[in-house]
Amino acid sequence: MKLRNPRTASLLFWAVLAMPLQPDRTAAQAFTIPWEAVADAVVQRMDLQPGETVLLVARAGDFEALVPLLRTRVSAAGATDLGAVEIGGNPIPGSPTTDFVAGLAGLEGPELVAALDAVDLGVMLPGATPADAVYGALQERLWQDQGRTIHFHWAGAYGLDGVLLPLSDDINRWYVDVLLKTDYAALSASQEACEPGTRHRPGGSRAGRRSGR
């Protein structure tokens, strides 16, 4: 299925956080991620169209509780659940697979990119990176102005020294707050205002579109 408006077919879900040097230890109690609320928020941001095909890209062992919740909600929204694939292109161990995901096993390079032509929306869950096969292939499709993606940058908080911080209850709490409390209408308006400048390089040449709204 091809989306009706390819120029608005790409959604980049991101959050920029300034982690405090000294977290508030008075609030540093055990934190459980509210998976149901997170899944509801992510699917809402997908803005799914009837029949739109969705593929989740995940790293085995990371955020496994979120995968079935997203897949159930994708189907409930009238979209087509293509399944969840491990970052290397194989089915996720222990997770119900689909014929589509099974067919990706062993593919690489142009063959993998071509196989992903059936994907309207690719969702990169925490742990997936551009160096991974499926992530990279979906990015290649964006360069070709095909499909759209959501990048779920959860494991991406850095300290002021530039070192990646390990996930903790404090960091998880911050990310949940950003996801659930962001004013997305205001964020979208800011992105729309900045977009013309990001699509042009100095000298007048146009920049390639890796991702959009």
What is the band of 16 on the pLDDT scale with cuts at 50, 70, 90? Answer: very low
Does 137 fall in a domain?
yes
When the pLDDT of each residue in the chain is averaged and rounded to a whole number, the result is 80
Beta strands in the chain (DSSP E): 53-58, 80-86, 121-124, 148-151
Does 130 fall in a domain?
yes
Range picked from 172-181, 193-202, 204-213 for highest mean pLDDT: 172-181
Does 6 fall in a domain?
no
Instruction: Give 176 or 88, the one with higher predicted confidence.
Output: 176
* pLDDT in the model for residue 28: 54
Cα dihedral sign, 30-35-41-45: positive
Q: What's the token pair of residue 93?
A: 């161990």
Does 148 fall in a domain?
yes
What is the band of 203 on the pLDDT scale with cuts at 50, 70, 90? Answer: low
Q: Which residues contact 124 (CB under 8 A, 6 or more apart)?
A: 57, 135, 138, 149, 150, 151, 152
What is the band of 14 on the pLDDT scale with cuts at 50, 70, 90? Answer: very low
As a whole-number percent, the residues of the chain with pLDDT over 90 amount to 40
The b/e string for 87-117 (b: 16+ C-beta within 10 A; e otherwise) is bebbbbeebebbebbeebeebeeeebbebbe
- Tell me the whole-structure pTM to 2 decimals: 0.75
* pLDDT in the model for residue 195: 76
* Total of domains in the chain: 1
Domain hosting 146: range is 33-154
What is the band of 90 on the pLDDT scale with cuts at 50, 70, 90? Answer: confident
* pLDDT in the model for residue 164: 73
Does 21 fall in a domain?
no
CA 166 from centre of chain? 20
What is the band of 118 on the pLDDT scale with cuts at 50, 70, 90? Answer: very high
* pLDDT in the model for residue 193: 86
As a whole-number percent, the residues of the chain with pLDDT over 70 amount to 78
Q: From CA 55, how far away is CA 78, in angstroms rounded?
A: 14
Q: What is the CATH number of the domain that holds 130?
A: 3.40.50
Q: Which residues contact 114 (CB under 8 A, 6 or more apart)?
A: none
* pLDDT in the model for residue 136: 92
Instruction: Give 116 or 22, the one with higher predicted confidence.
Output: 116
Does 49 fall in a domain?
yes
* pLDDT in the model for residue 67: 93
Does 120 fall in a domain?
yes
Does 55 fall in a domain?
yes
